[in-house]
Structure formats: C-alpha cells, structure tokens
Structure 1
Amino acid sequence: MFEVTAEDSFDFRSTEYAELFASSAATAFQHPIWLAQLYERIVRQSSATPLIIVVRSRQGGKLAMVLPLVRRRYTLLKVVEFADMRVSDYVSPVTDEETLSRILADSRVVASIRRLLRPYDLLRIGKLADRSLAMELLFGIEKRESMGMSAYSSKLEPTFSAWREHQLDQSYRKELDKKSRQLGRLGEARFKCAETIDTIRTTFDALKVYRGKRFDGSNGPADLLQQPSYFDFYLAVAAEGCGGFARTYTFWMNDRAIAGALGLAHNGSLLVILGGFDEAGYRKQSIGSLLFEQIARDCIERGDHSLDFTIGDEPYKRIFGGRPSPMWQIFRAGSPLGYAAHLTVEKLPAAKALARRVLHGKKAAPDRAIAAPVPVNEEFSPEVRKT
C-alpha cells in the first residue's frame, strides 16, 4: 500500500508537499516555508544531519506522510530528533489522522520507518501538543510523558472591544489605555504590519539589538537571534512569508522601531514566536503589553479566531486571556547507552541540568526566548519564554 524512503534533500517547496501540508493535521512549524528555511539555514549549517522520512502510496507515488527529522551527536550519544533546532514550538507528522491510521496498520511500513531511523542511542521528540497525532505509535512507544509545561492560546472575539472585555481584567484595560496615552505624548507612535522587505529588515535589526541586551546569557540562555544562522533564518521566513504565512509587526516612534514581533498565521490562528522591545526607553509605557494588544486587534480585524502564545508558562500569557494546554514528549532507547542516558537524566535533577549544558551550551535550559511584555501593574517581573 505504501513505500518508505529517506529523502534527505526533500523539496519542501514542492507542489506535492504544499498539497500534503494543506490537508494534514500538521502545525505552522511544518509549513513549507518554515521547513525549507530551517533545513537550508540552520540544519545544514549545524552539526545535525537531515533525516527526512517520506511515505508514498505504492500506486501512483502520491505523498502520504513526511517525518522531518535530524540526526545529532552529543559527545558519545547518537540521537534522532524532530527537526526542531530550538526554534519550533509544536511538532507533528505531516499527514492526516486517517492516513496515519492506515500507515500504522501496515506492519511492513512501520518496520521500514523504524529501520531507517537506525542507528541511534536515543530517539527523543518533545513539543507534542495535547491533541497532536499519535506519532509515538510509529516508533513503538506506548505513552507520552509530560514536559512539565503548557502552551497557551487566547480565544479571539468578533470585535476588539469584546475581546478586551472578555479576556482582559477591567483594571488592566484602564492601565493599558493610560499607557497608550502616555506613549502618544512622546511622539508619533504607529503600529504596523510590515508590507515590504525593507521594513521587515529594519524591525529585525532593532529586535537583534533589544534582545541582545535583554538576553545576554548572564542570567539564562543567550538570544539565538545573535547567531548569524538563526538571524538569517527568522529574517528569511519573515520575508518569504510576508503577506501570508508570516507577519512582522512593528511599533514605530517617529520612524524608529521601538518594538516588534514575528507571528506565523495558520488555520485562523496567529502563533507569536519572536518579539522584543526597547526596554530602556519604553518600559514605563509598557510597550510590550501595548504591542500584544495591537497584535490581537490586527488578528481580529483579519478574522482570526485565536492568538497562540505557544509553549511556556510565563504569567503574561494568562493576562492576555491565554488558556493552558499540556505539552508532551516521547523517548525510545536504541542502545544501553541511550537507555542509561535517558534514565539518568529523567531521575536525577542534577543530571538533567548537566544534560542541558551538554546539549545546548553552558546555561541553556530554555531554547528560545520571546520578550515578555512588562505588565503595567509591575506585579509580574519580565520573564523569558522557554521552549
């Protein structure tokens, strides 16, 4: 019924993949633009090796499923992972539920997929959303394990005023109005969604400066945007997806970018994945909070039904109406070394902290950070979103 191959130069911009993605249960992080740029600009410039498993119908060769994976080595440990590379918040096989069920029912196909994964010491895949397809069954894994954190999404209303009334506390709404008036007295403040490559680039240059100051590595992970390959990746996604998949938002003050964010639009939801602001100059005006409020307004005007803050338990997400949904991970040992590594890391907190340093660098418990808005009432301290 199906044929399985490893196509490590798979064309994610092809028509067949676009059609598969459009009919699949996959997330924005498996979008053709996202994965094409991810493999080109991050995977191939890192120590990771592409492992893209492709399932096609035996008759006609129609694309049925794609698993975008990578092989990585951490000291002696050989690991197979999803093509996450510290920038994706949700993972999913690129297929639909019915097709996945048919694939799982074909023992020969399942055996072929598992054979293509070898050799590895550890198969580990995190960032499975609560309702994501049961990818673990492809690998013979009985159950998911909790990641110990949630993702957050805010339901949008038909009108901006209704959303503010239902999702924001009354006192908070008044404070935001006050901060907005304060901002307006400082100059010509404008909120815009970028429509040109030049404005996107200007926004990203500003974000790099603001995030570099805030996430300098002295108290947590250093900002990924400071690395050329990651900066180029985000910029390329924003540019290629402009006018559709990607939205680059900017708060301008007298033609200077003082805050910005990158969001991915998918199935009526906007996933906010990257942001930053001039904390030194506009903290008192709560520019981060005003930015999120205006993003919600724009989404509502476009007809979106939800604003997704993705993974991480920062308090500001609840302030903007975010509701938690648990996140999951799966593991499978492929050798005694992999089994020992997984068992040690999961059972011993000190070993888990050591593993984070080995896998991501000296202080890298969080993978990617978005600048959390500074709440106007100063009750919550600014936090880094962890993925």
Structure 2
Amino acid sequence: MKVTVEETFDFSGPEYRRLYSEGKGTAFQAPMWLDMLHRRLGPSLGAKQRTVTFRNEADDSLLAVLPLVMQRSSGVMIIQPADFGISDYNTIVCDAERFEQIAASPAVLKALRETLRGADLLMFRKVRADGFDIQRLFKGARESRGENSAHAFDIGEDFDYWRLKVMSRSFTKNLGRLQRQTETAYGPYEHRAITDEQEIRAVFEFLREARQDRYAENLLDRHEYFDLYRDYAVAAAASGEAVLYVSYLAGEPVAALFGLAGDGEFHATLLASDIKKHQKISAGMQILYRVAQLRHQDGHRVMDLCLGDPGYKTHFRPTETTMRNITVALSLKGAAVAAIYHHAKPLKNFLRKGVANVR
C-alpha cells in the first residue's frame, strides 16, 4: 500500500465514486458534496487541497481516502478534514477491514505521518464514537469529547407503532390537530420533496430569509455558503444525494428542510420555518414529522437530526451518539493550540474567532 498526497484528487471521478458506493463513509463524504466543497469553498476560504490516498502498489487501485485540506489561520498551519464547518461527520473513507490493515501497519502509518509535513497541527474533529477510531492512525493523538452529540431515530418497520408507542401520543396527536386546523383556516397544507431547479432556487431564498429571524449567525447570509448549498441542492436532486423538502400552505412555503442523503439516510442539515406569519402552526416540527413519514413510505427507516442541542429533537425519541475531536501536534505552536482546544473552553471560544471554521 502506498500513501500519498494528491492535491488535484477528483472526488467526482469514477474511482472515488466506486469506492464510496460500496458503503464507505457518511453522506458528508459523498462524491458531489466533497467535490463542490473543494471547488467552491476551498479557494474562497484560502484552503489548499491535501487529500491523502491509499493505493495498491501493484495496480494503483484506490483503497482508502482521507479528505483533508490545509489552511493557515492566525499564523498556525492546520490540516483538517475538508468540511469548512458545515459537515457534521468526518472520517476516513474505507471499509472496516481496510482500516484495520492501515492501523496495523507501521510502514503505512509512517507514510501517513509524512503527509502531514509542513503543518503545525492536525485537527480531526466531529468523529462519531461509533465510527473508526482515528486516534489509531496517528501516534501522539489527543482526544476530547465534542460539545455537541449527534441524534438520530429509527422508525422501524411499522410507522404507526413508532407514532403511537415510541413517540409521545400527545405530541403526534397535537401535530395531527394542527394539520387539520391549519388546512381549515388557510387552505391546502402539503409536504413534499422538490426537484425542479427554479423551485429549489426560490425555496432557498425562503430558507435564507426565514433563518435570519432565528439565528444570530446565519451562515446563508454569506454568499459563498448560500451559493454552495443552493447549487448543490440543484445538482444533487436528480441523484438523491441530497433532498429538499418543503411545506406549502395555500401554495406558499412556510417551512423547508434540506438534508444530505448520499449514504441512504436523511441527514437534516438546514431547517427553517416562517415564524413571522405562522408561528402557531409549528411548521418546523410539522415538516420534521412529515419528512420522517415520507421517508418511511419510500422504504427508509432511519432519520438523522445531526449535531446540536437535543431540544426539540427529544420529541422524536432519538438515540444520542457521542462525538470526538482529535488533535495531533506537529510543532510547539501546534501543541499550544491543541492544549487550548482540549482543555480551556474560554480560550477555545476565542480560538474559534481566530482560526477559520474551528467548530
């Protein structure tokens, strides 16, 4: 096995698509998503592609991929996963058997370490505790628990059983009542996935405006992020790598939910509802519940509510998954930053402002 940095690696190409399609990686390592992150966000944020590939020496076939980038922030050269703050899960793209081969080979691990030359610090954040143990790939790695856990729920085979026995009966009863009352007062209230380009573009304008009323830091106010999300939603709609769901009330959008689905599960990434005009109808909760129902009808059982405060998520009785943040100090400067990151929360909050996209 040979380990190299491929600074022009093509995530949209057939060899990566073949590797990923075999069930390796999460939706946040899907081909189109990573391709657009590198092409669209990387240059605008001053990130240099640092993709690490593991190939068979005999035939050059692709065995595993670490999608990394290098960025200089506040004088610190950092190598980190290519998520730019908007991917919820980071990992190495390979299967369990390949990971064990890599982790058990001193020669491969030495070659992997060489790919980090020129950096002060490796920051490998947002690693699922139920995924690969990234610490095993890097000698001297340090780990701390992520501030936010992941939350997902499994509906199972019988939607009605989940609705009546797993979730709160009063909660689902109230949602049904709101659906009926809303239709009576305003007209048709429908929930569906959309694929038309012009419709997607219009709904993303709604998403941006609706989120301004809810979030102090609205990422969609930054044109490079808004353009990426919108254009990715358009491009990925045909393949199903991402899906945009909308709740229409009398023909007007009142809620929207966008998520990645490249690994077969729906990962709720962007959610917004019109709280100015329709706060009382709980449009945000309605679309989450209705999307779970629509997904189940299409044969999907698991829905991921991603990272963040459980809050409203508890209504869906999700399972919580701990997240891990891993650092590898490669210089004295990197060691100082790693110590701050793992052990000093006030300084860590300050670090977020100085080091791009440390989330």
The CA distance in 1 between the partners of 2:318 and 2:356, in whole Å, is 29
In structure 2, the partner of 1:171 is 170
Distance between the aligned counterparts of 2:201 and 2:58, measured in 1? 46
2:232 is the alignment partner of 1:237: yes
The within-5 A match list for 1:156-167 is 156-167=155-166
2:220 to 210, 225, 228: 225
How far is 1:187 from its partner?
A: 2.1
Distance in 2 separating the partners of 1:167 and 1:263: 24
Deviation at 1:247, TM superposition (A): 0.9
Matched with 1:385 is none
Contact 2:79/2:121, CA 8 A, preserved across alignment = yes
* Counterpart selection for 2:351 from 347, 352, 355: 355
1:136 equivalent in structure 2:
135
Equivalents in 2 of 1:49, 1:60: separation in Å? 28
Q: CA deviation at 1:142?
A: 5.3
Taking structure 2 as the reference length, what is the TM-score of the superposition? 0.94
| 2:166/2:317 contact within 8 Å kept | yes
Q: 2:122 aligns to what? A: 123
Conserved 8 A contact 2:267-2:305: yes
Deviation at 1:143, TM superposition (A): 5.9
Aligned-pair distance for 1:20? 0.7
Question: Pairwise mapping of residues 58-73 of structure 1 onto structure 2 (< 5 A)?
Answer: 58-73=57-72
Cα distance, 1:241–1:308 mapped onto 2, change above 3 Å: same
Q: Distance in 1 between matches of 2:287 and 2:91?
A: 30
2:148 aligns to what? 149
Paired letter, 1:23: E
Counterpart selection for 1:256 from 244, 247, 252: 252
CA separation of 1:250/1:138 partners in 2, compared to 1, >3 Å: closer, same or farther?
A: same
The residue identity in structure 2 corresponding to 1:14 is G
In the other structure, the counterpart of 2:11 is 12
Q: In the superposition, relative to structure 1, how do residues 140 and 23 fare at CA in structure 2: closer, same or farther (>3 Å)?
A: farther
Cα deviations across residues 324-356 of structure 1 (Å, max 9, x unaligned)? 111111111111111122223433332122112
Indicate conservation of the 8 Å contact 2:167/2:316, yes or no: yes
Tell me the secondary structure at the aligned position of residue 281 of structure 2.
coil
SS in 2 for 1:357: helix
Find the counterpart in structure 2 of residue 201 from structure 1: 201
Name the SS of the counterpart of 1:42 in structure 2: helix
Aligned length: 357
Pair 1:246-2:242 in alignment: yes
User: In the alignment, is the contact (CA less than 8 A) between 2:145 and 2:325 conserved in 1?
Assistant: yes
Structure 1 length-normalised TM: 0.88
Note the C-alpha offset of 1:262: 0.8
8 Å contact kept, 2:151–2:310: no
Paired position in structure 1 for 2:95: 96
Please report how far the alpha carbon of residue 102 of structure 1 lies from its aligned counterpart in structure 2 after TM superposition: 1.7
CA distance in 1, matches of 2:340, 2:270: 33
One-letter code aligned to 1:205: E
- What is the deviation of 1:107? 2.4
Per-residue deviation at 1:7?
Answer: 1.2
CA distance in 1, matches of 2:148, 2:213: 26
Q: RMSD over aligned Cα, in angstroms?
A: 1.7
Verify the 8 A CA contact 1:25 1:133 in the aligned structure 2: no
Q: Is the 8 A contact 1:71 1:81 kept in 2?
A: yes
Instruction: Choose from 266, 282, 292 the match for 1:296.
Output: 292
Counterpart contact for 1:261–1:273, Cα < 8 Å: yes
Does the residue aligned with 1:125 lie in a helix, a strand or coil? strand
Please give the secondary structure, in 2, of the residue aligned with 1:124.
strand
How many Å separate the matches in 1 of 2:346 and 2:40? Answer: 33
* Conservation of the 8 A alpha-carbon contact between 1:268 and 1:303: no
8 Å Cα contact 2:91/2:134 also seen in 1: yes
Q: Is the 8 A contact 1:24 1:94 kept in 2?
A: no
Q: Give the distance between the partners of 1:76 and 1:3, measured in 2 at CA.
A: 31
- For the residue of structure 2 that corresponds to 1:149, the secondary structure is coil
TM-fit CA distance, 1:156: 1.3
- 2:274 matches 1:281: no
Once the two structures are TM-superposed, the CA of residue 162 in structure 1 deviates from its matched residue by 2.2
> Do 2:179 and 2:189's aligned partners in 1 also have CA atoms closer than 8 Å?
no
Counterpart code for 1:9: T
Q: 1:109: which partner in 2?
A: 108
Amino acid paired to 1:193: A
Does the 8 Å CA contact 2:79/2:122 hold for their aligned counterparts?
Answer: yes
Aligned with 1:126: secondary structure?
A: strand
Q: Which whole-Å CA distance do the structure 2 matches of 1:346 and 1:263 have between them? A: 30
Distance of 1:104 and 1:130 partners within structure 2: 17
Q: Percent identity?
A: 28
Whether the aligned pair in 2 keeps the contact of 1:136 and 1:142 (CA below 8 Å) is yes
CA-to-aligned-CA distance 1:174-206 (integer Å, 9 cap, x gap) = 211221122212122221100211221111111
**Inter-partner Cα distance in structure 2 for 1:226 and 1:252:** 23
Q: Which runs of 4+ in 1 moved over 6 A?
A: none
Structure 1 residue runs of 5 or longer lacking an equivalent are: 368-387
For 2:138, the aligned partner's letter is F
Residue 210 of structure 1: aligned partner: 210
* Structure 2 residue identity aligned to 1:70: V
Which residues of 2 match residues 371-382 of structure 1 at below 5 A?
A: none
State how far apart, in whole Å, the 2-side matches of 1:302 and 1:24 are.
20
Is it true that 1:272 corresponds to 2:268 in the alignment? yes
